Amino acid sequence: MPVEKPPLESPDSSAARQRHIQYRRRVFLTIGLSIAGFYAIILGYHFLTPQPSKAASSSVLEQCRELCLQYGLIPTGHVANDAKAYLNSARTEKLSAPLREILSDPHFVVAESREHALLKRPALDFQLSNHKGETVSLAELNREGPVVLVFYMGYDCSHCVAQLFGLNEDLAHFRELGARIVAISADPPEETAAKFAEYGAFDFIVLSDPGNQVAQAYGVYRPETNEIPADLKHGTFLISPTGKVIFATYGYKPFLDNKSLLYMLSEFSPLKAAVKTTP
C-alpha cells in the first residue's frame, strides 16, 4: 500500500509561521528586558540609598537584651511597656516634685560632661524630617532657647527609647525652663509615625536621620568598613541659648539623669536665681 506523503507547506503559510515565531521571540525578549530593568531599579535604589547596617542593628538588639537581663527584665515584645519597665528599673530618681523643689536639693551632684570634640563649641546645625515629613532645623529651634539633643538607636529596641519615655514624663519641667527636646534616630519618618500610632506619640520633636549622618557628625556613629563593623551609641547633648554645646555624654546605655539636665538648664533661667533666694 503506498505511503501518503504530507502535503507540502505553501510559501504563504511558511512565512506566516516565521512571522509568528519572530513575534513570540519579541514578546519574550520584551518581558525579559522589563524584568531585568525592574531588578536593576531595585538594586540601584538599594546601593544608592543609605541603609542601616545589619551588623549595627543586630548589635543594638543584643545590647537591649543584655541590659534588660541586668535588671531582671524579660522583654514582652510590647516596646512601650518594656521601655517603661527598663526606665523604672534603671533610673535613680522619679521627678514627681515641683521644679523649684527639684532644684533645691542641697545634696545633688550634677553629672559631669564627657570629653567631646564639640564641647564648648558651636553645635552643628542640621535639617531633618519629623514623623510628619516636615523639615526641622536645629538653628531655628535654638533661637527659641536651649536644646536637649538626644540620639537614640531606634524604636525597635525598648531600652533605646526608654530615655524618650523618661523625657516625656518630665517634659513639663523642661518647658518651664524654656528648653526644647529633640530626639534623633535613623528610623524613617513613616516608621516613627507607625510606632506613634501603635504606642502613642511623644510630646517633643522626633527626627529621622537617614544613614545616621548627623549621628556621625556628632560622634555617636561610626560607619562600617572592611576592617571594622558599624558602631552606634546613645548620645545626649545640651546646647545653650547661644548655640554652644555645654554638655555631652554618650555610650551604650541611655542617659536617664534628667535631674542633671534640669540643673544645667536652670543656669539660663530666672528660676535659678529665685531658687537661690528661697529661704
pLDDT of the chain, 279 residues: tens digit per residue: 555 555 555 555 566 666 656 666 665 556 655 555 544 433 333 333 333 444 445 555 566 666 655 655 677 889 999 999 999 999 989 999 999 999 999 999 999 999 999 999 999 999 999 999 999 999 999 999 999 999 999 998 888 899 999 999 999 999 999 999 999 999 999 999 999 999 999 999 999 999 999 999 999 999 999 999 999 999 999 999 999 999 999 999 999 999 999 999 999 987 665 555 455
The residue range of the domain holding 253 is 54-276
152 within domain boundaries: yes
7 within domain boundaries: no
Distance CA 131, CA 152 (A): 15
pTM of the entire predicted model: 0.75
36 within domain boundaries: no
Helix, strand, coil fractions of the chain, as percent rounded to 5:
45, 15, 40
44 within domain boundaries: no
Number of domains observed in the structure of the chain: 1
24 within domain boundaries: no
pLDDT tens readout for residues 26-53: 655 566 555 555 444 333 333 333 334 4
Kindly list the distances between the CA atom of residue 21 and the CA atoms of 9, 10, 12, 16, 268, in Å, as whole numbers in the listed order.
16, 17, 14, 9, 82
Q: What is the CATH number of the domain that holds 118?
A: 3.40.30.10
